[in-house]
Amino acid sequence: MPRKKETAAWPGFEVAFEGEGLSPADVPARNLTALVEAVAAFFEKVAEERGVSVAPLRLLHVTEGSAAYAFRSPDVEAEAVMLTMETHARERGRNATEGVRWALERLFRSGRDFGAVRFCRFEGNKHLAPVHLAPPLEIEPAIFEEAREVYGVVVGVDAGVRRGATVKLRLDDGGTAVFDADLAMAQRAARLFTRPARAMVVYEIVGDRETEGEIDQLEESTRDDDALDRPLLAFDAARDALQGAGINVRASGLAARVG
């Protein structure tokens, strides 16, 4: 079992509830558990962010006359992790990963029944300047566009004056999809109705979400296998071949024979 003098040399920090006149006796077990779990998560997520494996924290001391809890780790590598924790706490998670920001917010919320939560790193037994936690800054997710090539048959066009236009494609790889389009693109799609087309679709991606996509370019597909892939064109090709051989086929005649 490590002695007190030995543990005093371990890297560490103090976390405290800062309610007026608050002492450990005023903190219910549930709130203390929430604090300890939030502290452990913050430490572990920062270590993960830094790509290091360190020995877990130990709760070594509870200060009488306040609700302050001292955490230390026997791992010397933990000092760099704690320094980063202090930076993230001071900067409200500005450049932190999503996991660290989640843990920081969890730690901040652990004090909602008492007041502020204070984070204070140790240098030996000396308390350094404290940081009073605030909610992590709201980070606007990056927005970017991605263009994808899509092949299919135009099977629907819906052009509304107020709500814009949409184009429906039966996709070569199965299923159908509806894409936004401006009026000029919708008119082009109408001229390609039931014909194979190649569309360049632009998606706006925000975080882990993306829009349904808007057609930026649309043209008739000229791939060699189009007639084989699409029933309407295959029927046209077969009819033209029969007519070229002097054979006229009537749909009603085929129906009579089948019956």
Report the alpha-carbon distance of residue 53 to residue 39 in Å, rounded.
Answer: 17
pLDDT at 221: 85
Which of the listed CATH numbers 3.30.70, 3.30.160, 1.10.3470, 2.70.50 matches domain 8-132? 3.30.70
Q: Measuring CA to CA, which residue among 220, 210, 208 is closest to residue 180?
A: 210
Which of the listed CATH numbers 3.30.300.30, 3.40.50.150, 3.40.50.300, 2.40.50.140 matches domain 147-258? 2.40.50.140
Burial class of residue 106, CB neighbours in 10 A (0-12, 13-18, 19+): middle
Q: Are 176 and 169 in contact (CB under 8 A)?
A: yes
Split the chain (259 residues) into runs of 10 and give each run's mean pLDDT. 76 90 89 94 96 94 85 94 96 91 93 88 89 83 81 87 80 89 89 91 79 87 56 59 67 49
Q: What tokens appear for 164 in the block?
A: 């814009």
Beta bridge partners of 144: 205
pLDDT at 257: 47
pLDDT at 242: 66
Q: Where are the domains of the chain?
A: 8-132, 147-258
pLDDT at 258: 42
**Got the DSSP string for 38-87?**
HHHHHHHHHHHHHT---PPPEEEEEETTTEEEEEE-S-TTHHHHHHHHHH
Q: Please report, as a single letter, which amino acid is at residue 108.
A: F
